Chain A
Amino acid sequence: MSPFALPRRTVSLRSLLLVAALLFVLGGCGKPRNVVQLLPDPNGHVGVVSVTTKGGSAELTRAGCAVRVADAKSAPTPPEDLTEAESEALFGAARRAMPEQPVRFLLYFESESTKLVPDSLRQLPEVVAAARARNSLDISVVGHSDRAGSVEYNIELSRRRAAYVRTLLVKAGIAAEGMEITSHGSGNPLVQSTKPHEPRNRRVEVTVR
C-alpha cells in the first residue's frame, strides 16, 4: 500500500463534502430567507407592492408570488411562487396573529339635533354586537355635521352627537376607556353637496377595531 494513500483519501473525502454542500445550496435549501410575498386582501382584491434594494427593484402583482433578497446590494430575484410549506415556515406565526379587519358603522341624525334617525337607532345593537365579538378596546366615535350653521356651532353639534353615541354604547355595556370621541364639524363631509342641509353628512362614524 502506498504511503500516500491515506492523505489522498482524506482529500477526496473533503471534496466529496464540498460537492455535497454545493448540491445542498443549488438544491434550494440555501435560498435566501429574506422574502416578500403578495396575497389577496380580505375582499379578494390583489394589490401591488414593489421591493427595492440598492441593486434593483421588483414588482409583485400576482397573488401568492414572492421575491427573495440575498443582500442589500443585489437586486431582488424575479417573482416566483412559494410552496405552502415555505410560506408557512417564513410567515405562519405572523399570519395567525393578524387582527380581524376593523368594521365601520355610519349613524345618521335629524337636522340640527343629536336625535338619531330611526334606522340608525335600530342599527345600534349591531355596533354593540361587533364591539363585543371583537372584544374591542379601541373604538373611534367621530361626529360630523352638514354645512348649515356656523363652523363653531357645527363643531359643537358634532361633538355632542359623538358624545351621545358614546353614552348609548356605554349604557349597552361597552367599556368607556377604550372609546375616543372626536368632532370634525362640517369639515369632513361624506358627500360634497351644494345644499347646506345634507342628511348624509349629519352622522357619527363608529370604527370598531
Chain B
Amino acid sequence: MVRRDPFLAVLVLCISLALPALASAADAPASDSAAGSVKNISGPATVARGGAAPMALKRGDRIFEKDVLVTGKDASLGLILRDDTTLALGPGSRLVVERFLFEPAKGNLAQVLRITRGSMATVSGEIVKLNPNVARVETPLYSIGIRGTHFLLNLESTGKDEEGAQ
C-alpha cells in the first residue's frame, strides 16, 4: 500500500493554489494567440487588457480574448477576427471580447462578444458557419443568437458608464 506523505500533500496543495495566481499575475492575455486585429480606426479608441490602464489602439494591433475596447465620442473602429468575422463599432461604444476560441481542426470553437453601449455592425465568419450554437452577442438588455450573418445593433445611451476613450 502506498503511504501518503503529508509533506508531499501540502506541497501539491500549495502548487495547485499558486498556479492560478501566477497565471493571472502574468500580464499576458487570456490566450496566447490573437483573437483578431484592428483593420481601421478613426478618432480615439482604446483597449484595456488584464486590468491595466486603457492604451490607444492603432491599425494592425492584435486583439485578444478578454480585451475591453472603447471608442470615443466621434470615433469608430473596424476589426477582423481570426475566423474572418468582420465587425465595426460606432462612436461611444464599449465591447468586451468575452470568449474567442478558433481551433477548427480540434473542433474548439467559441465566440461571445459583450457590448455594453454604443453601436456595432458585424458579418459573422467561420465559427458561426461551423457551429452557430457557440456564437452570440450579449448586451445588458438582450442577447443575440447568430445563425448568420450580417446584422446591426444599437444601445440607447443611459448616460452612465461613460469611462474610457474620450
Contact = CB atoms under 8 A, between A and B. Distances in A.
Among B79, B89, B119, B120: residue with most chain A CB under 10 A = B119
A53 B145 contact: no
Contacts of A198: none
A74 B145 CA distance: 18
B76 A42 contact: no
A206 to B, nearest CB: 13
A95 B40 contact: no
Given A101-B86, A102-B80, A102-B86, A50 B149 contact: no
Contacts of A76: 142
Contacts of A45: 148-149
A39 B123 CA distance: 9
Interface string A41-55: 110010111111100
A112 B154 CA distance: 52
Name the prevailing secondary structure of the B interface residues. strand
Most buried by A among B82, B91, B120, B149: B149
B86 A33 contact: no
A94 B60 contact: no
B148 A36 contact: no
Contact of A178 (B60, B143, B148): B60
A193 interface: no
B6 interface: no
A48 B140 contact: no
Interface string B109-128: 00000000001110110000
Interface in B133-148: 139-148
A91 B78 contact: no
19 contacts: A33-B155, A37-B153, A41-B150, A42-B150, A47-B124, A47-B149, A48-B148, A51-B143, A52-B144, A94-B88, A94-B89, A94-B119, A98-B121, A99-B39, A100-B86, A101-B86, A137-B59, A138-B39, A188-B105
Given A36-B151, A99-B39, 19 more contacts: A33-B154, A34-B142, A34-B155, A35-B154, A37-B152, A41-B149, A41-B150, A49-B147, A50-B147, A52-B143, A53-B142, A72-B140, A72-B142, A90-B119, A91-B119, A93-B76, A94-B89, A95-B121, A102-B84
